[in-house]
Structure 1
Amino acid sequence: MTEQTVRLAVIVASVRDGRIGPTVANWFADQARPRQDLDVDIVDLAAFPLPLALPGFGSGPAPEAARTLESLTPRLAAADAFVVVTPEYNHSFPASLKNVIDWHDRQWRTKPVGFVSYGGLSGGLRAVEQLRLVFAELHAVTVRDTVSFHGVWSRFDDAGAPTSPQECEGAAKVLLDQLTWWARTLRDGKAARPYAAA
């Protein structure tokens, strides 16, 4: 890994049984891995169960939660950029994702966030629009272009490959190009001068 390499965390947001999220995330990671400018880490939130109690309230996390944070927090902190792979549940995003976002404040700050969404007719885009508001509150920069899968259950074959790769591979490249530009720009900016946070 060189100084120019962007450390990209691909976050699998859904933790439900029978989810297709890992299939979508693995496909996207496979689009990113051949690039020499990216180092990819898949962070599956199903492996990091956290309590619903917010940080800063009560006496702190229970021992199990503390162990989860010890393994998850450094991976988020090490990332230069994020791609959130999210479904849409009831016009919004999964509670598991919001919980992890709330447990981590500084780890998102001044970093770019991209989105790969999936669902029914909307392709998860309503979840993405709400996530843009959440990440703005955390001083993260969301990338404009997204990858979305409408009718996701018919968009991947049994081997986990898209049934129409030409439709999504181009969108993935645009997202990755924008994400790496933002990651380098923000990293260089922070190195030149401190970020003025309220």
Structure 2
Amino acid sequence: MTTKPKIALIIGSTRATRFADKPAAWMLKQAQARDDMDVELVDLRDFDLPLFDEPASNLWMPSSDPRAVTWQQKIGEFDGYIFVVAEYNRSITGALKNALDQAYNEWGHKPMSAIAYGSVGGTRALEHLRNIAVELQMVPTRNAVHIGGGDFFAVHPVGANAEIDTIADHLMPSVTATLDDIVWWANATKAARG
């Protein structure tokens, strides 16, 4: 019997005033409506990660900080990752970059995608994240969800602060494609890792 892949939906921002909770909750709802994966919300706020200060990544030697080890164990539970990506100055948040650097072995040979947001849909940040993912031996998928332009300002608190369901018809084709990609690649890489 084949088990469903376990996917982490990782909130990549830790600011008190972050917008990330809104798209994360909406994306979680979309993923949980499917019966071909199990999805768990993983919030970086719940992990007291230090700034990366190990002699090397855990590819080369075990991490000494127990907080990093706890993070590695959590990330290692999953068969794939969907990141909630805020664009900060054309890249990902410092908190997300630090979390990525705190592990290596756990990310490898697993797919990743994202729901990204910002004035241009988080596109530049997601491109940076995909490059980092390649170095960590993840499998970046082609499809992702982007909330940008008028849609971003329609749902963001600095704009109209509407619910994301008000723009869902703009997002659903990319949501379906993204989740289809994650499931396909999670099953494929899970079988290959086995």
1:98 and 1:53 mapped to 2: Cα distance? 10
Q: Calculate the TM-score normalised by the size of structure 1.
A: 0.85
Identity %: 31
Sort the Cα spacing of 1:42 and 1:159 in 2 relative to 1 into closer, same or farther, 3 A. Answer: farther
Q: Which residue of structure 2 lines up, in the alignment, with residue 40 of structure 1?
A: 39
Kindly state the Cα deviation for residue 126 of structure 1 after the two structures are TM-superposed: 0.1
1:189 and 1:145 mapped to 2: Cα distance? 22
1:22-61 equivalences under 5 Å are 22-56=21-55, 60-61=64-65
Kindly state the Cα deviation for residue 187 of structure 1 after the two structures are TM-superposed: 1.1
1:1-198 equivalences under 5 Å are 3-56=2-55, 60-61=64-65, 66-67=66-67, 69-70=69-70, 72-120=71-119, 122-151=120-149, 152-155=152-155, 160-191=163-194
Sort the Cα spacing of 1:135 and 1:116 in 2 relative to 1 into closer, same or farther, 3 A. Answer: same
Q: Calculate the TM-score normalised by the size of structure 2.
A: 0.87
The answer for unaligned runs of 5 or more in structure 2 is 57-62
Sort the Cα spacing of 1:139 and 1:114 in 2 relative to 1 into closer, same or farther, 3 A. Answer: same
Task: Write the deviation string for residues 2-52 of structure 1: whole angstroms up to 9, x where unpaired.
Answer: 633010100000111211101101100100102111111101111213111
1:54 and 1:140 mapped to 2: Cα distance? 23
Q: Which amino acid letter does the alignment assign opposite residue 92 of structure 2? A: F
1:49 and 1:144 mapped to 2: Cα distance? 32
Sort the Cα spacing of 1:138 and 1:67 in 2 relative to 1 into closer, same or farther, 3 A. Answer: closer
Query: What's the RMSD between the two structures over aligned residues?
Result: 2.0
Kindly state the Cα deviation for residue 56 of structure 1 after the two structures are TM-superposed: 2.8
Tell me the matched-pair count.
183
The answer for unaligned runs of 5 or more in structure 1 is 192-198
2:3 and 2:81 mapped to 1: Cα distance? 16
2:82 and 2:49 mapped to 1: Cα distance? 20
